[in-house]
Structure formats: C-alpha cells, structure tokens
C-alpha cells in the first residue's frame, strides 16, 4: 500500500508525541520515590540568600538523605539578563527561585512539571489559590515556596486621638477618615495624613497598591484572549474599566479634592508612618520586623487591606516565590526530587515561622494561629493575587506614567489609561513573542 506524504507527516508527529511522552515519564517517574542519589544542584533567584542557605542547612540537619544546593542571589533588576546570558553560554542553573510576576519572560526556558508527577487536584487542594497562576492544561511551572501579602499598618495613637475606634475595612471610609486624621497648617501644608496615595515618587509599594485596587474590581491586569495570546486588561475599553480605580487613586494628591492628603513634599510613605505622621501604611507582611526595629515606640497594628464595599472581589496583592526547573538541566528528575524536599510541608512550616510569614500551603493555614499578626497574614493570603507581568520594573514605570498624566492634567483618565495600556501590550507582545 502506498503511503501518502500527508500520512507520513501525521505518523511522524504521532511518533514525536510518543517519544515526548516517554521522555516526560522518564524525567519525573519516581520523583517521590526513595532514591538516595540526589544530584548536587544550582539554584539562582531573587530570594534572600542568607534565609535560603539557612533553610537548606536546617533541612539537612534532620534529613536522612542530605541535599546539596548552591544558591546564588541576583538583584531582581538584572536577574533576567544574567539568567538568559548564562543559558546562552551553557552555564545556567538547574532551577530558579523568583516571584510569580517575574516568571512570564522565562516560560520557554523552564521545564513543565506534568500532572502525572503532581496532579492538578493535588495542587488545588494543597496550595493557596494564587498558586494557580503557575498551572496550565499540561502541568505546573513552579512549586510554591513562600508568600508575602500586602497589608495595612495603622497608627493606633492617631486613630485613638481622633476618637476612631478601629481601622477602615472599606476604601470609601477614607473620605470620613481624611476629615479627622489629615491635618494642615494655616497655609494649607499637610502636617499629618490619613493615607498616602496618588503618586509613584514617594509612595512605597505604589505598583502593588494600584494592582490591588485593580484586582479588587475584577480587572486581572493581564489575561489570555480567545486566540490564546496574553494581553493587558489595563485599557479603558476593557470589560472592567480601570478608570474608577485611577480616579480614586489620584484624588488624594488633588488640592481641590476633599480627600487631599498627600503630595510630593511629603517624605516617602514608610518614613512618614515611622515618624508618626501617617495614619495608614500599605506594606508587606515582611515589613513588620523592620517597622518594629526602626521605631520601637510606635503604637501600631496590622489589618487586612481595605476592600471595595460592593460589586468587587476580595483581593490583595501577594508576592509569591516559586521553585522552577530549568529546561536545560541534565537531570530534571533529580532536580524535581530536590525541589520536592525543599517544599516538604514540615520544612515549609518551619520556614514560614522563621520568616514570620503565612505559609503557602492551605493545610498549614487551616491549623490556625493564636499569633495576632500571623492570623491577619493568613487571612490576607487566602485572597492573595498576582498577575503574569512582562516586567515588574516596566509595569511600575507604565503605571507611574499613567498616574502622572492624570494628576498633572496632561491627559484625561481615559486617554492616560489607553496610552499606558498600549505601551503595556507592546511589552507583553515582545515578551511572549505573540
């Protein structure tokens, strides 16, 4: 029987898929087995080296089969360029440890962990919902490691002096809070402020604060379209228009607005909070220790980020780190076994306790905590979210430029968002090659 050219092509593709499936099975079969010959691996990342190296040492103190991991910490601003250059030279690491919003440019450089090794159900049942960002129809690109949610710190003395018993739970409460907590001198200069918002030059975590607001109204910032291409939803024409968020964010630096409470003459927001001149500070859970150290006399507390009162989605930005296998590693199975030990539930529980952060595993969160801060952090990560970002540095610049255009009057909210959205889409297309 004569075989047509089309049949030959189909047969070749079929054979390729069979071979790929066998290779995939070979790479990950027995990953949770009892092999005692674990490879020495190299991990690069943006996670603090001192914390990671101590974590590995603690694991080896009790492990029957010690692991050998050489970790290199790289500044986030140059991680991508150094990683790509090393891969081109053939000297790249076996795995990487970076935040979820840094992962997109490296999708094609990472090995997917198939669901035959770690099922979709196991991932869904084991980790916080934010971990779903690592998954697709065939597997997962990372094993969740740590998570650090954005929360609200509030100055108890300022609230008490103004006769306010507790912290705000909704954003619309700041209109009333501003009247009671923001004070100005006879010349209209701000002396104390209820909230630092509306600018990117002197507000710590401005990108993450703005992202939180967008996520709360149901705008995911980036999403896949019907053709499978990643595009930004930071557009005035998006299903959920970001305009309301930008108008809310920008109002606090408008001297003619009743909520005027911030300007560029103020110190950066964290410094203002530490000095007792800012009633609320939006920072990460990991900043608690630093705040305590820098001002032991500051009477403050932590609370969940305020939410949209109605019609929104409970959310807060959370910085999640994950361990990913680099595609070029010569021993993906061995690397996966080492990463499995690094994400062992008992080990992760100790790491979370050491870092004074909530765990990424829901079973550990479900155990509850009597610690007054950890209980707040745990609640925060259950609604923690992030997004597939082309480059956190670039998105910060774009968001800042949009806000600047609005607050300076250079563009309407609609036009500023459109300009920023078009810039963001260009970067996304360059990143994904779509």
pLDDT at position 434:
72
Per-domain residue ranges for the chain?
37-147+319-372, 149-317+387-432
Structure tokens at 294: 């820098």
Residue 123 binned pLDDT confidence (cut-offs 50, 70, 90) = very high
Fold adopted by 37-147+319-372:
D-Maltodextrin-Binding Protein; domain 2 (3.40.190)
Whether 273 shows a pLDDT value over 70: the answer reads yes
Whether 231 shows a pLDDT value over 70: the answer reads yes
pLDDT at position 36:
58
pLDDT at position 68:
97
pLDDT at position 28:
56
Rounded to an integer, what is the distance from CA 144 to the centroid of its chain? 12
Whether 276 shows a pLDDT value over 70: the answer reads yes
Torsion of CA 282, 284, 290, 291, to 10 degrees: 30
Q: What is the mean pLDDT of the chain?
A: 92
Q: Does domain 149-317+387-432 have CATH number 3.40.190.10?
A: yes
Task: State the average pLDDT over residues 267-295.
Answer: 98
pLDDT at position 22:
38
Same fold across 37-147+319-372 and 149-317+387-432: yes
- Read off the pLDDT of residues 54-112 as tens digits, 9 standing for 90 and up: 999 999 999 999 999 999 999 999 999 999 999 999 999 999 999 999 999 999 999 99
Residue 187 binned pLDDT confidence (cut-offs 50, 70, 90) = confident
pLDDT at position 376:
98
Torsion of CA 388, 170, 151, 275, to 10 degrees: 130
- Read off the pLDDT of residues 332-356 as tens digits, 9 standing for 90 and up: 999 999 999 999 999 999 999 999 9
From the list 392, 397, 423, 407, the residue with the least C-alpha distance to 199 is 407
H helices within 90-219, ranges in order?
A: 120-126, 156-161, 174-181, 206-216
Task: State the average pLDDT over residues 356-366.
Answer: 98
More confidently predicted of 311 and 9:
311
| End-to-end CA separation in angstroms for the chain | 42
Residue 433 binned pLDDT confidence (cut-offs 50, 70, 90) = confident
Give percent of the chain with pLDDT exceeding 70: 92
Among 30-44, 88-102, 259-273, name the one with the lowest average pLDDT. 30-44
């Amino acid at each position: 029987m004569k075989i047509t050219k089309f049949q030959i092509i189909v047969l070749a593709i079929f054979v390729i898929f069979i071979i790929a499936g066998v290779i995939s099975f070979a790479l990950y079969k027995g990953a949770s087995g009892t092999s005692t010959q674990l490879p020495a691996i190299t991990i690069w990342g943006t996670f603090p080296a001192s914390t990671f190296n101590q974590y590995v040492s603690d694991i080896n103190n009790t492990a029957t089969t010690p692991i050998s991991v050489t970790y290199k910490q790289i500044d986030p601003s140059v991680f991508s360029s150094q990683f790509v250059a090393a891969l081109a030279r053939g000297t790249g690491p076996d795995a990487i440890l970076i935040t979820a919003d840094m992962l997109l440019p490296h999708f094609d450089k990472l090995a997917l962990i198939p669901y035959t090794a770690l099922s979709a159900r196991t991932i869904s049942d084991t980790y916080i919902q934010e971990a779903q960002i690592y998954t697709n129809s065939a597997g997962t690109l990372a094993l969740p490691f740590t998570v650090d949610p954005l929360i609200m710190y509030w100055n108890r003395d300022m609230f008490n002096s103004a006769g306010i018993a507790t912290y705000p739970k909704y954003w619309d409460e700041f209109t009333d809070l501003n009247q009671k907590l923001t004070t100005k001198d006879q010349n209209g200069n701000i002396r104390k402020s209820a909230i630092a918002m509306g600018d990117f030059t002197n507000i710590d975590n401005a990108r993450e604060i703005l992202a939180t607001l967008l996520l709360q109204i149901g705008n995911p910032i980036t999403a896949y379209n019907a053709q499978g291409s990643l595009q930004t939803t930071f557009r005035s024409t998006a299903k959920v228009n970001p305009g309301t968020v930008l108008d809310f964010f920008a109002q606090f630096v408008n001297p003619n607005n009743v909520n005027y409470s911030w300007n560029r003459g103020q110190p950066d927001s964290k410094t203002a909070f530490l000095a007792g001149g800012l009633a609320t500070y939006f920072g990460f859970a990991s900043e608690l220790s630093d705040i305590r150290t820098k001002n032991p006399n500051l009477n403050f507390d932590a609370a969940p980020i305020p939410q949209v009162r109605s019609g929104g989605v409970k959310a807060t930005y959370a910085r999640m780190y994950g361990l990913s296998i680099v595609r070029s590693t010569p021993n993906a199975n061995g690397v996966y076994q080492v990463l499995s030990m690094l994400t062992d539930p008992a080990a992760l529980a100790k790491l979370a306790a050491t870092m004074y952060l909530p765990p990424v595993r829901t079973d550990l969160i479900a155990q509850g905590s009597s610690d007054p801060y950890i209980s707040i952090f745990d609640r925060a990560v259950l609604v923690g979210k992030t997004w597939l970002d082309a480059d956190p540095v670039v998105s910060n610049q774009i968001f800042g430029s949009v806000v600047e255009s609005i607050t300076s009057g250079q563009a309407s909210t609609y036009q500023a968002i459109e300009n920023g959205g078009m810039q963001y889409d260009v970067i996304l297309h360059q990143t994904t090659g779509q």
